[in-house]
A = this chain, B = another copy of it.
Amino acid sequence: MAASDETSAEERLIARYFRPLATAPGAFGLTDDAAIVTPPPGCDLVLTTDGVIAGVHFFPDDPPDDVARKVLRMNLSDLAAKGAAPLGFLLSVALPATVDEAWIAGFAAGLGADAALYGCPLLGGDTDRTPGPISVSVTAFGAVPHGAMVRRATAKPGDCVAVTGTIGDAALGLMLRRDAGRAALWGLTDAMSDHLKRRYALPQPRNALAEVVLHRAAAAMDVSDGLAGDLAKLCRASGVAAEVDVASVPLSAAARAAIAAEPALIETVLSGGDDYEILVTLAAENAEAFIEEARKAGTPATVIGAISEGQGARFLRDGEAMTFARPAYSHF
């Protein structure tokens, strides 16, 4: 992405909509082939990349500012779970010819709002036309003290397992987005229905907890592909087992109402994905402090289980281990 004049439609669009977001000195106002980012002294640079495709990760008629904010927040959530402070991001967009300038303006407005909100400026990027659907990919950069990135692979037997916020809202919100009639079947109020749909449309990444994660967590990852599958991944990476008490998994009032009406939804809640909460394991001496510091930072965290020797993540309901038809989202 590079523009220094209004000589092509591409350069004009970049200059008008994206250059105002490129506030970091290392972005060079999007007038160069490359950008620069320099982590603070003594810090490692944390890299993560995640993208969305229309019809796969969002609905083609979703508001463009929500699309922009969701893809940036998906990446911010990864940084938060690693204990990293955001430094900036690169953007790649491929747009079909049917996308008009109003869409681009809305997209850039949403992106700019969140870049400012999370202190994560645009550093550069790449724009292309595509014969396919709208595709947006973000690569986000963050900083952690050297060697301190919180890993997936460092959970230890005896750790407790905790999650931030509530689980399953987005998966239920997606069901409502596909079939609004479910809200009545589940006996949801309009506010409950809106809450679930909003949790799907716009994640609330827990960047306010990044420092708490950095100082307290033994292991962490963000919950993006479903709690059951993501905890199983953490266990595999760490070579440990986990046991979760399903009754202790934090649920919103809306999710509790839906499950009360249709008990099988508990599987959707635990395996559905798009939560963008943080899953952590905590050594015994850090558990209480983590919960307390998370609460002070504005996001409750809840202990849901424990790590032990062995393998696999077991979800216990009334003493029985649940089985999942599809424990986590897989793209293939």
Which A residues lie at the B interface, using CB under 8 A?
2, 4-5, 7-11, 13, 26, 28, 31-39, 44-51, 53, 55-57, 78-79, 81-82, 84, 90, 92, 94, 123-133, 135, 137, 139, 141-142, 144, 146, 149, 151-153, 221-222, 232-233, 236-237, 328, 330-332
Contacts and interface: CB of A to CB of B under 8 A. Distances in A.
A81 B328 CA distance: 42
Nearest to A330: B8
A49 B90 contact: yes
B79 A34 contact: yes
15 contacts: A4-B153, A10-B331, A32-B221, A34-B78, A34-B84, A35-B48, A36-B46, A37-B44, A49-B92, A49-B126, A53-B94, A56-B131, A127-B332, A137-B137, A139-B139
What 3 A-B pairs are tightest by C-beta distance, nearest first? A132-B132, A8-B330, A9-B332
Nearest to A9: B332
Contacts of A79: 34
Contacts of A26: 44
Contacts of A31: 152-153, 237
Nearest to A57: B128
B236 A331 contact: no
Contacts of A9: 330, 332
A152 to B, nearest CB: 5
Nearest to A52: B128
Contacts of A33: 48, 78, 81-82, 152, 221-222
A34 B149 contact: yes
A56 B130 contact: yes
A51 B132 contact: no
